[in-house]
Amino acid sequence: MNAFDRLAPPLQKWIRQQGWPSLRPVQTAGINAILGTNNDVIITAATAGGKTEAAFLPLISDVLLEEPAQDHGFDLVYIGPLKALINDQTRRLEDMCREAELAVVPWHGDIGSGVKSRALKAPRGVLLITPESLEALFVRRGSSIATLFGATRAIVLDELHTLLDSERGIQLRSLMNRMEIATGRQIRRVGLSATLGDTGLARHFLRREAPDDVVLCEAAGGGAEFQVQLRGYLTGGKVPEDEVAAKDDRSAEAAIAMHLFEKLRGSNNLVFAGSRGKVELYADRLRLLGEAQGLPQEFYPHHASLSKEHREFVEKRLKDASLPTTAVCTSTLELGIDIGSVTCVAQIGAPFTVASLAQRLGRSGRRAGQPSILRQYQIEARLEKSSHLADRFRLGLVRAIAMIELYLQKWYEPPRSSALHLSTLVHQILAVIAERGGASAERLYVTLCSKGPFYAVDTTLFLAVLRQIGSSDIALIEQSDNGLLFLGRQGEKLVEHYSFYAVFKTPEEFRLVEQGKDLGTLPVDNILAPGMTIIFSGRRWEIVEIHEREKVILVTRSKAGAPPLFGGDPGEIHNQVVEKMFEVLEGKAVPIYLCKQAAALLAEARGNFALTEAGFHRIIATGEDSHLIATRKGSVVTNTLALALGGFGFETSIYDGFIEVRTKEAKLRLEDALALIAESKRLSLFYRQAEPQSEKFHPFLSADLLQQDALSCRLDETGAIRLASEILASTQQQTARNR
């Protein structure tokens, strides 16, 4: 029997109504993988490749054709990382389920309590929910979980790739696990994604006990033709006489804005500017260019600090084919919210990961016969005598090239699987105790570690965490006479507040208000005062009043302004990306997608790289007491070595694949320090400040636990030790050769 015939009649009718000539291969594969089996399944296809239907056509059929395990409860559970995505998918599923008369229930923070209480009284159909709302159900209604999910056939995880490596992903795996323990049944898991770097690790995420049994349904190669141009621009330094032309504004940003304005006007596009500050800067310039020509506005900023109203306005304009719209944005427009297809994706500066570049490009070329177009812009510094080697090697441009090359090879960053996730573990200990009204240490360990996602935590470490959060000054948990663990004084306070359900940290912010209307938010660490001017939401403002206690800033329209500071963490670059960068630096081929200026910059970078023989000498003297070490590694290993060197009094700065070391304050020679590191088994002794508190529940952990947590993911000791001996060996070879 073919795939279509195996579906329940209401779904066959729905497919006919859609006017589809046939099912797509990935949908046929999904139907065959799911119907009549208990398989866990991963479905990967390009954005808008029909993944949702590939999963839900057979899953809904299964609900209609087979008897449920119990009379009440949700038949299917869909978990989405965004409220907007849940709203989109609710509409699609309602359409698909109408004929089948199956209820579709959206559930997140913006959904009214009426919908929720009705669904709790008579749970059935498809539940679409966020990880946080699901956590809230477990914590608030722990005793109802077995009833609510006792009939659930499958859990569908949308945008699986965003969950693999993150704190939220660990929480979600724990929730799926807790659901199976509460209902006493194994529940099928179906993951959907457009960009999975390593399907092996995705399988492991989905079902750790049996990753090999997870069935993979892959759509055959996307098909859209890929067009790319990389344009290089110069900034700073002395502008040569012949380049000083009539135009007032010679900055690279102005030139890029002008090019974007000319190329993108009249169609729908996305411009990824790299940071919220840069988004504001380019949106402002593009608006001014339009106003100068008396043209209607079509360039708008979009990022997470802007008000919901403004963001929804921009998203709606993007969906509307009749109004040309370009959004200058951050990764807010990277995920699967349906904004239709855009003509071109522009990227200013090199992205941090190939995975996000791929995700962004998935937004363009979605209509048959239309290419997917990338316009990459890169600004480099004009070189002077005193210019730094990182500028001479044109590392920004080289990284942009490496990213495009890796994208063409279809390589994406894999998730790291060794992380301990102690912050999230603390959260889940509190959550499980709240869900069950108390738990023994043994039961907790089985639920969370031996059977759960914290498998890297052994019993010794687990007990150390319990002791730490049970200590009298932390008081998150306490133990009763019969050995059962309960929430402590502080633990109860945390769990009672609604801010408990999310496992990730969010900064404190000011609200920006103009005449009673919210424009958006700004991190509180901005240094602002009345009279100062800023660019925000694509317009210029003057600060009128600051209300510290209410965290409100009142503003009024202004003619001047600069983008405010939005803060942020340093990005993380994978080893493979840095390796590719060195391949580019050492290579000869000039990619055809470089403009003349970019090609000249690449030639210059290669010339400077060859001149300093950085490929040959791993340690290059760059001044009287400064050196450049070529680590040829990504930021985790490079950071670890830099931290270890810092322990010896060296001052360090980090670049892609390089560490600059200043030896002035150091107690010993650089080579001797490297030798000591190379001989070590552990580096912890050398760190000066290796207790970073970056995650939400880190403040409750001890220095020792924080260091173990950092070493499991943000630092790589063995990698750094190996790197130190590798660098030494190559310098010794070099010395021998010179003799």
Partner DNA sequence: GACCTGCTGCGGCTTG
**Contact residues for DNA (CB under 7 A)?**
81-84, 108-110, 113, 116, 130, 132-133, 136, 140-141, 166, 168, 274-277, 303-305, 330-332, 350, 352-353, 356, 399, 498-502, 504-506, 566-573, 635, 654-656
Nearest approach, Cβ of residue 83 and DNA (Å) = 4
CA 627 – CA 642 distance, rounded (Å): 12
Which of 342/355 has CB closer to DNA? 355
Rounded to whole angstroms, how far apart are CA atoms 350 and 401?
Answer: 8
407/566 with CB nearer DNA: 566
Contact status, residue 437 vs residue 477, Cβ threshold 8 Å = no
Burial readout 379-414 (b: 16 or more C-beta within 10 A, e: otherwise): bbbebeeeebbbbbbbbbbbbbbbbbbbbeeebbbb
Q: How far is the CB of 694 from DNA (least distance, A)?
A: 10
Cβ 542 vs Cβ 531: under 8 Å? yes
User: CA 420 to CA 424: how far, in whole Å?
Assistant: 9
Q: How far is the CB of 522 from DNA (least distance, A)?
A: 12
Beta carbon nearer to DNA, 224 or 614: 614
Q: Are 683 and 642 in contact (CB under 8 A)?
A: no
Between 28 and 631, whose beta carbon lies closer to DNA? 631
Query: Which three-class secondary structure state does DSSP give residue 201?
Result: helix
Would you say 108 or 207 has its CB closer to DNA? 108
User: From the CB of 139, what's the least distance to DNA, in Å?
Assistant: 8
Q: How far is the CB of 652 from DNA (least distance, A)?
A: 11
Alpha carbon 375 to its chain centroid, in Å, reads 22
Cα gap 274→563, rounded to integer Å: 14
Give the span between the Cα atoms of 91 and 106, in whole angstroms: 10
d(CA 621, CA 612) in angstroms, rounded, equals 9
CB of 175 to DNA, least distance (A): 13
In whole angstroms, give the CA distance from residue 90 to residue 521.
Answer: 29
Measured from the CB atom, is 167 or 298 closer to DNA? 167
Q: Which is nearer to DNA, 231 or 399 (CB)?
A: 399
Per DSSP, what are the bridge partners of residue 113? Answer: none
Show the tokens assigned to 349.
């500066």
Q: How far apart are CA 209 and CA 155, in angstroms?
A: 17
Give residue for tokens 């360990």: 445
CB of 693 to DNA, least distance (A): 15
User: Is the CB of 269 or the CB of 468 nearer to DNA?
Assistant: 269
Handedness of CA 304, 306, 307, 308 (dihedral sign): negative
Nearer to DNA, 27 or 640 (CB): 640
Handedness of CA 234, 361, 328, 523 (dihedral sign): negative
In the complex, minimum distance from the CB of residue 525 to DNA, in angstroms, rounded to a whole number: 12
Rounded to the nearest 5 degrees, what angle is found at the Cα of 310, between the Cα atoms of 304 and 316? 105
Q: Name the minimum Å distance from CB 350 to DNA.
A: 7
* Residues 404 and 230 sit within 8 Å (Cβ to Cβ): yes
Burial class (CB in 10 A: 0-12, 13-18, 19+), 589: exposed
Closest contact distance (angstroms) between CB of 572 and DNA is 5
Residue with tokens 């005598």: 385
Query: Minimum distance between the CB of residue 577 and DNA, rounded to whole angstroms?
Result: 9
Residue linked to tokens 């490596």 = 165
Cβ distance to DNA smaller for residue 572 or 625: 572
Nearer to DNA, 130 or 424 (CB): 130
Name which of 61 and 537 has its Cβ closer to DNA.
537
Could you tell me the two tokens for 511? Answer: 């609200």
CA nearest neighbour of 43 among 175, 203, 280, 259: 203
Cα–Cα distance measured from residue 610 to residue 633, given in angstroms and rounded to the nearest whole number: 19
Q: Which helix (H) or strand (E) holds 376?
A: strand 372-381
- The nearest distance, CB 398 to DNA, in angstroms, is 12
